[in-house]
Structure 1
Amino acid sequence: MGLDVPVPDFSTLSRRGAGLSIPEESKDQRACPIKLVVDSTGLKIFGEGEWLQNKHKTKSKRKSWRKLHLGLDLTTGDIVCSDLTKDDVGDPTALPELLDQIDAPVSRFLADGAYDGDPTSDLLVDRFGEALEIVIPPPITAVLSLDAARDPTPRDKHIAEIRDKGRLAWQVSSGYNHRSRGEAQIGRWKMVIGPKLKARNFPNQKTEARIGTNILNKMNGLGRAKYEAVA
């Protein structure tokens, strides 16, 4: 096009990445509370082991990963919270910092069995109130609480329904199947943004992940498919 556009080299981008401040997107007044689904996935990083493998044609002993945590609003399709952690951080451990990013009421929370347990339930109720509907599948070995006959908890009700109707029927009745949209968002990330992180150090990788979140939300704001039942 005949344009003289200066393009910074990788070293400049890397040096500025750690201190890059990404502005918060303007949020319209929400018409209804968030229906939040949370999931995580691994992203490959190009570490020392991969560098030695490429240079000396040796086999790396351990692959390096980072863990990407995403929270999706089922109503709008936006990523309302995200975080990048090291691969030894469990999903429940990363949850508090994810919830810190949400400044709106949440009416429903969906996640896989990794989040099952009292610490997660107590955290969610403390943040969003007793009216929050928590949909987390209990493990096969789950047992009812001691006070389940007189005052069953939501988890007790899930366990009882699974025993009576089966796990697949519970997934339909509880709406747990909608969690697949969180998995679809992760697939979308890896197709559009990519399955690898290009930055070398952890602070820059966190910045790179925040940029990826903004990109997907911007694409979602430009328009998304609508689905209607025809029969």
Structure 2
Amino acid sequence: MPHKFNAARREKIPKQKYRVTNWTEYNESLRRRGDLTVWISDDALGLWSAPRRTTRGGQRTYSDLAIEICLTLSAVYKQQLRQTQGFMRSIATLLGVEIAVPEFSTLSRRGKGLTLPATRKTDRSDPVHLVVDSTGLKVFGEGEWLEQKHKTSRKRRSWRKLHLGLDLVSGEIVCSDLTKDDVGDSTALPVLLDQVDGPVSHFLAGGAYDGEPTSDLLAARFGSTIEDTIPTPINAIMSPNAAQDPTARDGHITEIAARGRMAWQKATGYNQRSRGETLVGRWKVVIGSKLKTRTFENQKAEVRIGVPVLNRMTGLGCPSFERTA
């Protein structure tokens, strides 16, 4: 966290206070998150059945859209697949539509190779101000408390690592990935950048992304004009050619040494990285801090479903703030 460099005097730093200026609109957006018409439309029900295939093989009963709708309802209302099957069956009965509801085993099997539309839906000509962050998601298996209490060994990995990329301009998630817990943040970065289909003008990330590999990767993908704001460690040293050809990292080191880390954060806009941490908190509250599925491929599909869910909720409306103190 950025404030760890000021832990000794943290209590002396006044906390900023804000108030929401659009409570009416924001309250309505929160209500609409539970509206079934937001997640299920008449057009979607009309495309419930899979199109007739022209190649050899068995004919699928349900379209990818039908599977996506069921998995979306599972994520929004935090239900297991069996409960989702019953929930969708009751919706079809109440709406009076004659559709076959996929079984839970079908949802699990079809979710692995489910193809979803592109994450970003905003104008691609607008450059992305990208902030990336990662967090751990709990999976099935014995927990850490059981391991410490009874000295048992874990039979399976207890965590998966979720990587998210947020566009500060639109507020949408533009890239995501789920990896095993032994994959570092900088190692997962190339996969995230492959999902960004537009120009990136600014990149913010934590100290885990510090280093030449990240800078070279950003320059190769988005050009040398990209501005990257990554904090350097306390013991960071300048590059060998800093006197003749200083890099952006050299500039950060000099600025932090001259003005202090907090002033550097304010001057470079690094404080906006807190929105990435807020996104992680939203994911754990809305989608959940634990993965429901068991296999790694199904867990990746679960994350792919969660991304458009959060983006849809963002599109319904977000709070606007103004500082009061």
TM-score (ref. length: structure 2): 0.65
Task: Say if 2:120 and 2:173, in contact at 8 Å, map to a contact too.
Answer: no
1:173 aligned to 2:261?
no
Partner of 2:284: 190
Amino acid at match of 2:153: K
Pairing partner for 1:203 from 297, 300, 305: 297
Partner of 1:153: 247
1:61 aligned to 2:132?
no
Amino acid at match of 1:157: G
Amino acid at match of 1:149: A
Query: 2:119 and 2:184 mapped to 1: Cα distance?
Result: 28
Partner of 1:86: 180
Report percent identity of matched pairs: 64
Secondary structure at the counterpart of residue 217 of structure 1: helix
> Which stretch shows the higher mean deviation, 145-154 or 106-115?
145-154
- Tell me the CA shift for residue 225 of structure 1: 1.5
Secondary structure at the counterpart of residue 27 of structure 1: coil
Query: 1:154 and 1:201 mapped to 2: Cα distance?
Result: 42
- Tell me the CA shift for residue 60 of structure 1: 4.9
TM-score (ref. length: structure 1): 0.89
Query: 1:132 and 1:9 mapped to 2: Cα distance?
Result: 48
Secondary structure at the counterpart of residue 43 of structure 1: strand
Report Cα offsets for 1:95-142 as digits up to 9, x if no partner. 001000011010100000000000010000110111100000011110
Partner of 1:112: 206
Unaligned runs of 5+ in 2: 1-89
Unaligned runs of 5+ in 1: none
Query: 2:198 and 2:120 mapped to 1: Cα distance?
Result: 13
Query: 1:135 and 1:173 mapped to 2: Cα distance?
Result: 11
Report matched runs for 1:20-31 at 5 Å. Answer: 20-24=114-118, 27-30=121-124
Partner of 1:225: 319
Secondary structure at the counterpart of residue 224 of structure 1: coil
> CA 1:229–1:203 in 2, change beyond 3 Å: closer, same or farther?
same
> CA 1:224–1:139 in 2, change beyond 3 Å: closer, same or farther?
same
Secondary structure at the counterpart of residue 130 of structure 1: coil
Query: 1:229 and 1:105 mapped to 2: Cα distance?
Result: 31
Aligned length: 225
- Tell me the CA shift for residue 29 of structure 1: 2.0
Pairing partner for 2:189 from 80, 83, 95: 95
> CA 1:46–1:10 in 2, change beyond 3 Å: closer, same or farther?
farther
Aligned Cα RMSD in Å?
2.3
Secondary structure at the counterpart of residue 197 of structure 1: coil
Pairing partner for 1:74 from 156, 165, 168: 168
Amino acid at match of 2:133: D
Q: Which has the higher helix share?
A: 2
> CA 1:20–1:58 in 2, change beyond 3 Å: closer, same or farther?
farther
Secondary structure at the counterpart of residue 196 of structure 1: coil
Query: 2:136 and 2:179 mapped to 1: Cα distance?
Result: 10
- Tell me the CA shift for residue 146 of structure 1: 1.5
- Tell me the CA shift for residue 147 of structure 1: 1.3
> CA 1:140–1:170 in 2, change beyond 3 Å: closer, same or farther?
same
1:162 aligned to 2:256?
yes
Query: 1:26 and 1:184 mapped to 2: Cα distance?
Result: 19
